[in-house]
Structure 1
């Protein structure tokens, strides 16, 4: 296995960890009667501050998969993993780092750190997009 494939599996795995954590959080909220019903706002606005941050961390992974997962899958499908292998683990680390910052706090400091992690991912994806495009035109 190479870095691109491991990063894709890692990204999906991390998203699943957040999903299970969110499902557990919501289930416990109902059983502990801290939430009145099995209906939850999709944005997490009807639960505690941590529940909101957990919901947003999960949704950020889902929202970013379109371009991160898409580029990783494109590289795999076109045998262009030499383009993505070098930065695949950096991207995965930045994705996990962004989520962890989201879970820890919504203070101004953590929002800025979270943005740096997002910026790292965005720059890597822009570089990959350009490099993949140049390979095929």
Structure 2
């Protein structure tokens, strides 16, 4: 598999990992009687700040998947992974860094670092889009 294929698989797997973590915690909350099974909001409002950040972090991945995952998939489907391969691992790394920082802190420095990781992803995405259209 190409670096592009690994990055796409990694991106999807990261979103799945975040979902699994969220559902493990939610299951614990239900089993221990702290939250009713039907007491969850999509954004985890009413739960801990960490759970709210986890929901938002997962949503960030899902929101980016059609864009960034789409570009990776286009490269694979058109046999043009030579365009995406060189930056594919950088993209995935920036996504994981962004998510991890989001989970850990909302301090001003953390928000700036998280945004920087997102800017890296956007720059890579714009570059891939431009090259794939050329």
Residues 1:30 and 2:34 are matched in the alignment: no
CA distance in 2 between partners of 1:99 and 1:38 (Å): 27
Question: Could you list the runs of 5+ residues in structure 2 that have no partner in the other structure?
Answer: none
1:72-118 deviation per Cα after TM superposition (whole angstroms, max 9, x unaligned): 00000001100000000000000000110011011111111110010
Deviation at 1:31, TM superposition (A): 2.1
Match of 1:48 in 2: 48
Q: CA deviation at 1:38?
A: 2.6
Let me know the Cα RMSD of the aligned residues: 1.0
Aligned positions of 1:8-19 closer than 5 A: 8-19=8-19
CA distance, structure 1, for counterparts of residue 91 and residue 5 of structure 2: 13
The aligned runs of 1:41-120 (5 Å cut-off) are 41-120=41-120
Contact preservation (8 Å) 1:4, 1:84: yes
State the Cα distance separating 1:40 from its structure 2 match: 1.3
Q: Output the TM-score relative to the length of structure 2.
A: 0.95
Give 1:26 shift: 1.0
Gaps of 5+ in 1: none
* TM-score when normalising by structure 1: 0.93
Following superposition, which runs of at least 4 residues in structure 1 exceed 4 angstroms of deviation? Answer: none
CA distance in 2, matches of 1:107, 1:33: 32
**1:127 aligns to what SS in structure 2?**
helix
Tell me the alpha carbon deviations over residues 6-26 of structure 1, each in whole angstroms, 9 at most, x when there is no partner: 101111111111110010111
What is the alpha-carbon distance in structure 1 between the residues aligned to residue 31 and residue 75 of structure 2? 44
Paired positions, count: 134
